Amino acid sequence: MSRIIKVGTIILLTLTFTSCQDLLNQPPDDAVTSEEFFNTGNDLEVYTNDLYDVLPAKSVYIDDASSDNILGVSASDRLKGTRTVPTDRGSGGWSWENLRKINYFLENYNRVDDADAKAKYSGIARFFRAYFYFEKVKRFGDVPWYNEVLDANDEELLNKERDPRTLVMDSVLADINYAIDNIPAEKQLNRITKYTALILKARISLHEGTFRKYHDIEGHEKFLEEAVAASGELINSGVYALYTDGGPDQAYLDLFARNNQDMTETILAVDYEFGKRTHDLAYRMTAPTLGRWGLAKDLVNSYLMEDGTPFTEQNGYKTMGFYEEMQNRDPRLTQTTAGPDFTTYGSDQREPVNLDITRTGYRIIKGLPPKGPQWGSGGSYNDVILFRYAEALLIYAEAKAELGTLSQGDLDMSINKLRDRVGMPHLNMAEANANPDSYQEAMYENVQGANKGVILEIRRERRIELVNEGFRWDDIMRWKEGQIFEDPINGIYFSGLGAHDFNNDGDADVYVHDGDASGAPEEVTSTINTNERPLTNGTSGNLQLFDGGSFDERRDYYYPIPREDLELNDNLEQNPGW
Angle ∠(70,76,80) on CA atoms, nearest 5: 105
Predicted local confidence at residue 29, as pLDDT:
39
* Euclidean distance between CA atoms 472 and 465, whole angstroms: 11
Give every CB contact of residue 214 below 8 A, 6+ residues apart in sequence.
Answer: 446, 478, 479, 480
Beta strands at 526-529 and 510-513: parallel, antiparallel or unpaired: parallel
CB 256 within 8 A of CB 335: no
Predicted local confidence at residue 155, as pLDDT:
78
Predicted local confidence at residue 245, as pLDDT:
98
Nearest CA-CA partner of 435 in 294, 309, 281: 309
Predicted local confidence at residue 23, as pLDDT:
35
Q: Cα dihedral sign for 242, 246, 250, 254?
A: negative
Nearest CA-CA partner of 94 in 140, 152, 145: 140
Rounding to the nearest 10 degrees, give the CA dihedral for residues 269, 270, 271, 274. Answer: -130
* Euclidean distance between CA atoms 71 and 547, whole angstroms: 12
Predicted local confidence at residue 30, as pLDDT:
38
| Residue-wise pLDDT tens digits, 504-517 | 999 999 999 999 99
Give every CB contact of residue 569 below 8 A, 6+ residues apart in sequence.
Answer: 20, 21, 158, 159, 160
Topology annotation, domain 10-56+93-238: 1.25.40
Predicted local confidence at residue 154, as pLDDT:
79
Predicted local confidence at residue 6, as pLDDT:
37
How far is CA 190 from its chain centroid? 18
* Euclidean distance between CA atoms 268 and 266, whole angstroms: 6
DSSP 173-219: HHHHHHHHHHS-----TTS--HHHHHHHHHHHHHHHHHHHHHTT-S-
Half-sphere exposure of 110 (CA within 13 A, CB side): 3
Terminal alpha carbon distance of the chain: 47
Q: Is 332 helix (H, G, I), strand (E, B) or coil?
A: coil
* Euclidean distance between CA atoms 198 and 231, whole angstroms: 7
Instruction: Kindly report the backbone phi and psi dihedral angles of residue 336, in degrees, each rounded to the nearest multiple of 5, phi listed first.
Output: -115, -40
CB 526 within 8 A of CB 483: no
* Euclidean distance between CA atoms 467 and 498, whole angstroms: 32
Question: How many CB atoms are closer than 10 A to CB 443?
Answer: 22
Rounding to the nearest 10 degrees, give the CA dihedral for residues 527, 531, 533, 537. Answer: 110
Q: Which residue intervals of the chain bear CATH 1.25.40.390? A: 10-56+93-238
Spell out, as residue ranges, where the chain has pLDDT lower than 70: 1-34
